[in-house]
Structure 1
Amino acid sequence: MRLCSIASGSSGNCIYTGSDNTHLLVDAGISAKRVEAGLKELELEGSDIQGLLITHEHSDHIKGVGVLARRYGVPIYATEGTIRQMKSMSSLGTIDEGLYHVVHADEDFFIGDMKVEPFAISHDAAEPVAYRFECGEKSTAVATDMGVYNDYIVEHLKGLDTVLLEANHDIQMLQVGPYPYPLKQRILGERGHLSNESAGQLLCRILHDNIKKIYLGHLSKENNYAELAYETVRLEIELDPVDYKSGDFDIQVADREQCSGVCNF
């Protein structure tokens, strides 16, 4: 399997995962041109993508969906609530009804040789989900846009080889920053985003000896920066009573503008 962040941040998200035979994208919140450029770095084309899995309908996750669907006929997988919201958005243009495939949290399905496991997350969207993927003995997950996490989330993220996990904001930067008060409350709320500290604490719940790579993603442009996210998460691991140290793991902050390297596992 492979995992690669083509782009990840508050301004746009698109993550590739796949096997030798199956190629998938989680979200397309950047332009189709940027998606194509990212795929080219992976020696793939838009026509190679067999499924576009949408987490929720916010623009930083669906901006390029319409163009990709029309250009390549890529099947779109999303929950009923997400699809309903997408269909109401004129910005996506006309999408062939036959390309939509409804998924349900906790109901697994296959695309090629990849097992897809959607699971519910807490975010201010119609019916948001995150995704876990398995192929043979290997597994990965893309989990962002979560206001909170709980034992249910932890269970879906256990035993992974790789993961892309949200580290959206530094709480202090957000609190003293320029955002209006209602928006600050939304981000900090139970249907908002995970802070760097929360990301580190969640990560401590799912660390194990064989995890190969950890990407920190969906960083806020205004309320976070890469070094701070990395150091905060690293410190949470150091402070946790588990036996692990942050140096035991390959942790990388996913770039908002370009591909963040490919992890083969």
Structure 2
Amino acid sequence: MSLQFSVLASGSSGNAMYVATDKQKWLIDAGLSGKQLEALFSKREINPKELNGILVTHEHSDHIKGLGVLARRYKLPIYANTKTWQAMEGLIGSIPLDQKFHFEIETVKSFDDLNIESFGVSHDAAEPMFYVFHHQGKKLTLITDTGYVSDRMKGTIQNSDVFVFESNHDVDMLMMGRYPWNVKRRILSDVGHVCNKDAALALSDVIGDQTKRIYLAHLSKDNNMKDLARMTVQQMLEEQGFVIGNNLKLMDTDPSVPTGLEVL
């Protein structure tokens, strides 16, 4: 029995992740066009007809752009909390009632051999939430699109085998960049996005003996770079006494190139 996953796409242009066990196959977010998502599925030999459903984190376009198309095309159930469903009205087109399911914040749902736990984050959406996947003692956490990582969040995600963790921007790049001040202020706010340094600080509180891999996710194409994010997080973690290498690895994600189909 194994827990498998691939970060299919991660970034401001679109987000999607695949998680599977022997009995369950799930897509988390569908923030690219249907055509782009199908191309990503093909790269990882994922058959969308076999998906058990789509989990939604929040209603921003880079997380739901292809949601309606994909759900209608393959008759897939969609799971989201009540406020997110309300916010998505008019954004994803008509969804048949038998494909609409509620997954409320701070709850756990069991699907055969997979337990999925939802938890709230701090972001400027109706009721944003992310997920922890539990299978046979293994724990996989997805957390992006949050302005900060609270103690409550840390308690939920503590000691995951794998973290897919927001490292959105470098503050200096953001401040010197071309974005207008109101956008910069939103990104830097408590309902914006976590920067590289804050990602490292939060990770230093949640990495445990079980933790093997950290995927730095949702990097801004304008205000960050993979090498810079990795270097910043690694340096700060090493200053906290963590050893980045064979037993604890920092990994990249990409807006258009899926990670390998990893096995826990």
Tell me whether the two structures share a fold, i.e. TM-score over 0.5.
Answer: yes
Q: For 1:161-240, what aligned pairs fall within 5 Å after superposition?
A: 161-240=161-240
Any residues of structure 2 matched to 1:131-150 within 5 Å, and which? 131-150=131-150
Matched, 1:245 2:247: no
Counterparts of residues 15-34 of structure 1 (less than 5 Å): 15-34=17-36
Structure 1 residue 98 displacement after superposition:
2.3
Q: Which amino acid aligns with 1:259?
A: P
Task: Encode CA deviations 1:9-58: one digit per residue, 9 max, x unaligned.
Answer: 01100011111211111101011222222222332211111121110000
- How much identity, in percent, do the aligned residues show? 38
Cα drift, residue 210 of structure 1: 2.6
C-alpha distance in 1 between matches for 2:112 and 2:65: 25
3-state SS of the aligned residue for 1:101?
Answer: strand
Report if the CA contact (8 A) 1:167-1:216 is conserved.
yes
Q: Mean alpha-carbon deviation: is it higher for 39-48 or for 213-222?
A: 39-48
Looking at structure 2, the residues matched to 205 and 24 of structure 1 have their Cα atoms a distance apart, in angstroms, of 28
TM-superposition CA deviations, 1:104-152 (whole Å, max 9, x none): 1221112332111000000000010010011121110110001011111
Q: What is the TM-score when the length of structure 2 is the normalising length? A: 0.95
Task: Work out the CA distance in 2 between the residues paired with 1:42 and 1:113.
Answer: 22
Q: CA–CA distance in 1 between the matches of 2:138 and 2:263? A: 10
Moved more, 220-229 or 92-101: 92-101
Q: Which residue of 2 aligns with 1:260?
A: 259
Number of the residue aligned with 1:43: 45
3-state secondary structure, aligned to 1:118: strand
Which of 4, 7, 14 is 1:5 aligned to? 7
Query: Aligned to 1:246, what secondary structure does the other structure show?
Result: coil
The whole-number CA distance in structure 2 between the counterparts of 1:233 and 1:106 is: 28
- Asked if structure 2 preserves the Cα contact closer than 8 Å seen for 1:213 and 1:263, the reply is no
Provide the rounded CA distance (Å) in 2 between the counterparts of 1:192 and 1:162.
23
Q: Between Structure 1 and Structure 2, how many residues are aligned? A: 261
Structure 1 residue 57 and structure 2 residue 56: aligned? Answer: no
CA shift for structure 1 position 97 = 2.5
Matched, 1:14 2:16: yes
- CA RMSD across the alignment: 1.2
For the 8 Å contact 2:159–2:209, the answer to whether it is kept is: no
Provide, for residues 147-196 of structure 1, a one-character-per-residue CA deviation record: whole Å limited to 9, x for no partner: 01111111111121111000000001111111110110000000000001
- Cα separation, 2, equivalents of 1:162 and 1:244: 15
Q: Is the 8 A contact 2:12 2:221 kept in 1?
A: yes
- Amino acid in structure 2 at the alignment position of 1:199: A
Please, which moves more after superposition, 139-148 or 29-38?
29-38
Q: Which amino acid aligns with 1:79?
A: N
Distance 1:135 1:209 in 2: 17
Corresponding residue number in structure 2 for 1:80:
82
Aligned position for 1:100: 100
TM-score normalised according to structure 1 size: 0.95
Tell me the CA shift for residue 61 of structure 1.
0.2
Q: C-alpha separation between the residues in 1 aligned to 2:213 and 2:244?
A: 12
- Consecutive unaligned residues in structure 1, runs of 5 or more: none
Partner Cα separation in structure 2 for residue 231 and residue 164 of structure 1 = 17
